[in-house]
């Protein structure tokens, strides 16, 4: 066995060559995900040269140690100047090898890893393996031949889909597409060696030498347009698609030169920096100082109280992750409705091919049902998802506290209420925590873990451990009205309503924010979620509202007219055949609101709408930091990207604020504070950072 690590990396040993005859195995071993660091690239190139030299070797397998094939270039190296050997050169050397090379893929072959596999002369994958070119998710295009080799191997149309979406395909689909040649049965390594042996003496099939059949010009242009529209402002998907289309007209070498140029240009772009920040922030957020070292409690049996939309989604999220779930309701009728809702969600997943019938049966089997909370006595964790009312929740927690054994964690899914007051209703406030799921709970990745001053550290740690099992992204925060996400959302909605009063119409605000990169503007979102819940909350809070607060009552008037959004066919818009239409009734209500306030309506440009909304978000986010509701700027950025679809290519509001500069944002905030009154004062942390030239991220 030869250790091919470069002398400068002595001891690292990330590439080994097992030079057996006739098949040599090149093994990459660079934990945790075998990223192609400089040492891996150098080792791989040296290994290829070595097998070329060794007359005993007649074929080669490239495989990986550890949990996965190569997961791509080392993203941490992207901030530094590129160091030789460059990945495209290493990959070209693999393809040019005069002896057949087989790629043996387990885990995931992503980005540069997939490009290594593409340059091999044949590919075999484990049944559970996945392959993909996710570079666009990092604001990049594949930079080592992916845009040129993939269309040559699987066709331009399929390559456009994979490269522009960045999605990973599972082995079975990869086989169908021609992206892999075989799926291994039991022993991937041995079957790869056997495959390589079969190829000895046969003509070598080099991907780069295959022809790429182009698409009709018109179809290609249409596809490009669609890809750009779906990208909502992210530039990489469109650029990656253009490169894929070039594969049909340019020789490999020229296509790769164009690809490299675009890759290097995007690597230093703001969008890529933001998306890389998003990638690392998503992982960092679960490491919460003070909590990640506490020992989580063992949790397997889950109770869910309430089988409405949230409760059902929560039950599914737990069942999908292999927990035993029991859902309870107050009556047989409510329980049956919940059971039907859960069955229906699984049915749809089977119908769309996302779930097998066997998996559905297994998950349905993991959920049991009961009437009354006393059937939850054996649970390790109970999550409450009942009506959003403090007294209802306090009464429920009192009841649960009486029947649950000591040590059982009591979680509430409240979105706004003071969890300390809920905890006070029990004899175990240290074991009460907020687990705030986002709707639909089995789909949305974000989970706010809300701790009171008394929540025990190991209870928070259990929340983090559960999030990991649920494959969710947890953000730990303290109690405040609306926690992180809904608190910021309330501010941003309020500002959107001020814009209406001053001259904009709902569709103009929505269009400006959709152009900003949100999938939907705030009024379209309200219509989708339903206006009635927020209305009930406003009515509840009315007695405590500061009378000096600028309050726009258009939403109240819509609700009074029974316009609760899509479900009633009308809200901020009118819905015909599912399409949203501008409604003159709403326009009239908005104009009346301006009149009542004595405002002369004026056209508001989209840039002003975007800047005001951004300032509202950043200011409130900064107050959340100032108050210690969360510890780090990345907590807020992750909440906004994963719970509220803040464009990831902007990196979240605080990352973006650093890029724009805090002074212009503060100027905007000061202007609004003067006009909008209480609640809109600038955050102390924003003022001090702007004054000292500090940033949110050092």
Catalog residues that contact ligand 3H9 under the rule CB under 6 A. 32-33, 35, 68, 71-76, 87, 108, 110-112, 115, 134-135, 138, 140, 142-144, 146, 283
- Cβ 234 to ligand 3H9, closest distance in Å? 15
- Cβ 436 to ligand 3H9, closest distance in Å? 23
Q: Is the Cβ of residue 146 or residue 485 nearer to ligand 3H9 in the bound state?
A: 146
Nearest to 184 by CA among 96, 293, 61, 284: 61
- Cβ 302 to ligand 3H9, closest distance in Å? 23
Q: Give me the phi and psi of 91, to 5 degrees please.
A: -70, -40
- Cβ 373 to ligand 3H9, closest distance in Å? 36
Q: Is the Cβ of residue 240 or residue 640 nearer to ligand 3H9 in the bound state?
A: 240
Supply the residues annotated as catalytic.
115, 135
Q: Is the Cβ of residue 72 or residue 255 nearer to ligand 3H9 in the bound state?
A: 72
- Cβ 471 to ligand 3H9, closest distance in Å? 8
Query: What are the residues whose beta carbons fall under 8 Å from the beta carbon of 383, sequence distance 6 or more?
Result: 302, 303, 304, 305, 314, 411, 412, 413, 435
Q: What order do you get walking across the sheet with 130-132 strand by strand?
A: 108-110, 130-132, 168-170
Question: CA angle, 281 as apex, 279 and 282 as ends, to 5°?
Answer: 70
Pairwise CA distance, residues 658 & 655, whole Å: 5
- Cβ 102 to ligand 3H9, closest distance in Å? 21
Tokens at 394, concatenated:
């306090």
Q: Is the Cβ of residue 283 or residue 596 nearer to ligand 3H9 in the bound state?
A: 283
End-to-end CA distance of the chain: 45
- Cβ 284 to ligand 3H9, closest distance in Å? 7
Q: Is the Cβ of residue 284 or residue 591 nearer to ligand 3H9 in the bound state?
A: 284
- Cβ 446 to ligand 3H9, closest distance in Å? 16
Q: Is the Cβ of residue 107 or residue 434 nearer to ligand 3H9 in the bound state?
A: 107
Q: Is the Cβ of residue 321 or residue 488 nearer to ligand 3H9 in the bound state?
A: 321
Angle at which helices 506-516 and 606-626 cross, to 10°? 70
- Cβ 550 to ligand 3H9, closest distance in Å? 44
Tokens at 618, concatenated:
């950043």
- Cβ 141 to ligand 3H9, closest distance in Å? 8
Q: Is the Cβ of residue 112 or residue 311 nearer to ligand 3H9 in the bound state?
A: 112
Q: Is the Cβ of residue 40 or residue 613 nearer to ligand 3H9 in the bound state?
A: 40
By the 8 A CB rule, do 393 and 315 touch? no
Q: How many residues does the chain have?
A: 698
CA-based max dimension of the chain: 90
Under DSSP, is residue 547 helix (H, G, I), strand (E, B) or coil?
coil
Under DSSP, is residue 139 helix (H, G, I), strand (E, B) or coil?
coil
Strands (DSSP E) contained in 527-591 are: 574-576, 579-581
- Cβ 154 to ligand 3H9, closest distance in Å? 17
Task: Compute CA distances 50 → 43, 87, 313, 446, whole Å.
Answer: 10, 18, 55, 48
Q: Is the Cβ of residue 30 or residue 452 nearer to ligand 3H9 in the bound state?
A: 30
Task: Compute CA distances 23 → 20, 51, 99, whole Å.
Answer: 6, 10, 10
Cis peptide before 675 (omega within 30 of 0): no
How buried is 515 (Cβ within 10 angstroms: 0-12 exposed, 13-18 middle, 19+ buried)?
middle
Q: Is the Cβ of residue 137 or residue 363 nearer to ligand 3H9 in the bound state?
A: 137
Report which secondary-structure segment, H or E, holds 626: helix 606-626
- Cβ 262 to ligand 3H9, closest distance in Å? 11
Q: For the residues of 141-203, what is the DSSP string, one character each?
A: ---SSHHHHHHHHH-HHHHHHHHHH-PEEEHHHHHHHTS-SEE-SS-HHHHHHHHHHHHTTSP
Nearest to 300 by CA among 318, 321, 327, 324: 324
Sign of the CA dihedral 241, 276, 486, 695?
Answer: negative
By the 8 A CB rule, do 429 and 399 touch? no
Nearest to 668 by CA among 53, 678, 657: 657
Q: DSSP code of 86?
A: P
Q: Token match 């040019």: residue?
A: 96
Helix, strand, coil abundance in the chain, percent, nearest 5: 55, 15, 35
Q: Is the Cβ of residue 366 or residue 464 nearer to ligand 3H9 in the bound state?
A: 464
């Amino acid at each position: 066995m030869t250790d091919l690590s470069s002398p400068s990396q002595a001891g690292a040993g990330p590439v080994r060559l097992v030079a057996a005859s006739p098949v040599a195995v090149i093994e990459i071993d660079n934990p945790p995900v075998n990223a192609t660091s400089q040492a891996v690239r150098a080792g791989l190139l040296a290994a290829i040269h070595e097998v070329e030299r060794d007359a005993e070797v007649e074929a080669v397998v490239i495989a990986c140690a550890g949990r996965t094939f190569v997961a791509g270039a080392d993203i941490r190296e992207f901030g530094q100047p590129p160091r030789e050997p460059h990945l495209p050169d290493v990959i070209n050397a693999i393809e040019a090898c005069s002896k057949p090379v087989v790629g043996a893929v387990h885990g995931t072959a992503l980005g540069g890893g997939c490009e290594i596999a593409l340059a091999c002369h044949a590919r075999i994958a484990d049944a559970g393996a996945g392959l993909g070119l996710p570079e666009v998710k990092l604001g990049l295009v594949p930079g080592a031949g992916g845009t040129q080799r993939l269309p040559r191997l699987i066709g331009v149309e399929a390559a456009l889909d994979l490269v522009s979406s960045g999605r990973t395909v599972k082995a079975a689909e990869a086989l169908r597409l021609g992206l892999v040649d075989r799926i291994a049965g039991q022993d991937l390594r041995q079957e790869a060696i056997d495959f390589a042996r079969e190829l000895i003496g046969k003509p070598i099939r080099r991907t780069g030498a295959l022809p790429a059949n182009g698409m009709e010009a018109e179809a290609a242009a249409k596809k490009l347009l669609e890809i750009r529209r779906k990208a909502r402002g992210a530039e990489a998907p469109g650029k990656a698609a253009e490169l894929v289309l070039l594969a049909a007209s340019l020789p490999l070498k020229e296509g790769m030169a164009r690809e490299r140029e675009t890759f290097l240009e995007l690597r230093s772009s703001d969008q890529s920096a933001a998306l890389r920040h998003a990638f690392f922030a998503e992982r960092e957020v679960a490491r919460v100082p003070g909590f990640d070292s506490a020992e989580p409690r063992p949790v397997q049996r889950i109770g869910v109280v309430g089988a409405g939309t949230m409760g059902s989604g929560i039950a599914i999220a737990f069942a999908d992750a292999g927990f035993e779930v029991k859902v309870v309701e107050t009556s047989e009728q409510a329980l049956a409705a919940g059971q039907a809702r859960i069955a229906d969600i699984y049915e749809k997943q089977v119908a769309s091919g996302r779930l097998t019938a066997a998996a559905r049966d297994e998950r349905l089997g993991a959920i049991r049902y009961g009437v009354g909370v006393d059937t939850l006595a054996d649970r390790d964790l109970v999550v409450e998802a009942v009506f959003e009312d403090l007294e209802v929740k306090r009464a429920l927690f009192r009841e649960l506290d009486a029947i649950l054994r000591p040590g059982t964690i009591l979680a509430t899914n409240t979105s706004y209420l003071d969890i300390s007051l809920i905890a006070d209703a029990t004899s175990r406030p240290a074991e009460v925590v907020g687990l705030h799921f986002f709707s639909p709970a089995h789909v949305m990745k974000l989970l706010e873990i809300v701790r009171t001053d008394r929540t025990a550290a190991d209870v928070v740690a259990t929340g983090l451990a559960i999030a990991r099992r649920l494959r969710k992204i947890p953000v730990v925060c303290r109690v405040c009205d609306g926690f992180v996400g809904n608190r910021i959302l309330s501010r941003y909605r309020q500002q959107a309503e001020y814009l209406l009063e001053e001259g904009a119409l709902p569709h103009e605000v929505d269009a400006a924010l959709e152009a900003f990169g949100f999938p939907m503007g705030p009024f379209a979102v309200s219509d989708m979620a339903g206006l009635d819940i927020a209305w009930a909350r406003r009515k509840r809070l009315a007695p405590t509202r500061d009378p000096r607060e600028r309050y726009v009552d258009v939403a109240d008037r819509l609700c009074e007219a029974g316009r609760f959004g899509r479900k009633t066919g009308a809200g901020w818009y009118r819905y015909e055949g599912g399409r949203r239409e501008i409604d003159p009734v709403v326009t009239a209500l908005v104009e009346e609101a301006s009149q009542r306030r004595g405002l002369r309506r004026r056209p508001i440009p989209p840039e002003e709408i975007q800047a005001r909304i951004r300032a509202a978000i950043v200011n409130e986010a900064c107050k959340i930091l100032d108050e210690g509701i969360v510890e780090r700027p990345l907590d807020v950025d992750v909440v906004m990207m994963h719970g509220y679809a803040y464009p990831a290519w902007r990196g979240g509001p605080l990352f973006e604020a650093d890029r724009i500069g805090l002074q212009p944002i503060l100027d905007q905030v000061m202007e609004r504070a003067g006009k909008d009154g209480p609640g809109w004062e600038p955050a102390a942390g924003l003022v001090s950072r702007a004054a000292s030239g500090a940033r949110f991220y050092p």
